[in-house]
Structure 1
């Protein structure tokens, strides 16, 4: 989608199990959406706060971004690429597909809900 790199839920699950330190996982949904559950070890950075994190993310080797269905996170990936952050990957299908695949979702800690 939009010329960005994508990963599907089973691939991300495998990456989380086998190479957990090789990427940074970012949830760009709203705080209300995140309160319903997040992927394990994801950082909460609502979409409107993404521009504030660009300089920090330039140093990351890989960033996997997700939202509810993969549309907003694809937009975030496209935006980050325009800003020169090219090591971003979109979770195709978002947390909805992740859940449909039977993969685990965790309830966020109240203190970790804002990136």
Structure 2
């Protein structure tokens, strides 16, 4: 069940699964961990954008799109959501508990790594 923490909406695993299953929803889920963490295990179809890259790619984000951030435990993703809110993005959500609490499908290896503002701007749910 969602709740707010420091002004950021928090969702649990069931809510994230719902978002991922609803193809018509324009919410973009982004993993903000480091590449080695992502390649060890990540949610299929969720792209990687390491936390330290976000300030450099801020122009690629759309203020009208809702973003859900995922990390290992929910702390880094919470910090990313707070940073985004401070920069005028108000449709940001944190997956509380992170991959440590994820009980859904995972995959290993490289999949999608966002490297540029163009890639980020063109990112759409599949």
Query: What TM-score do the two structures reach when normalised by structure 1?
Result: 0.86
Superposition CA RMSD, Å: 1.7
Instruction: Give the count of matched residue pairs.
Output: 111
- Verify: 1:56 aligned to 2:57, yes or no: no
- Give the SS at the match of 2:57: helix
Q: For residues 94 and 20 of structure 1, do their structure 2 counterparts lie closer, same or farther at Cα, with a shift above 3 Å needed?
A: farther
Structure 2, unaligned runs of 5 or more: 116-126
Q: Deviations over 1:37-81 (max 9, x none)?
A: 111211111010011222221245210101000001000000000
Confirm or deny that 1:109 pairs with 2:110: yes
Q: Distance in 1 between matches of 2:24 and 2:51?
A: 23
Q: Deviations over 1:88-112 (max 9, x none)?
A: 10001001111xxx311122436x3
The correspondence of residues 83-94 of structure 1 with structure 2, limited to 5 A, is 83-94=87-98
1:12-58, Cα deviation, whole Å (9 max, x unpaired): 10121124542111111011111111112111110100112222212
- Point out the structure with the larger helix share: 1
Alpha-carbon separation, structure 1, partners of 2:56 and 2:44: 23
Query: Are 2:79 and 1:75 aligned?
Result: yes
Report runs of 4+ in structure 1 exceeding 4 Å deviation: none
TM-score by length of 2: 0.79
Contact 1:66 1:90 in 2 (8 A): yes
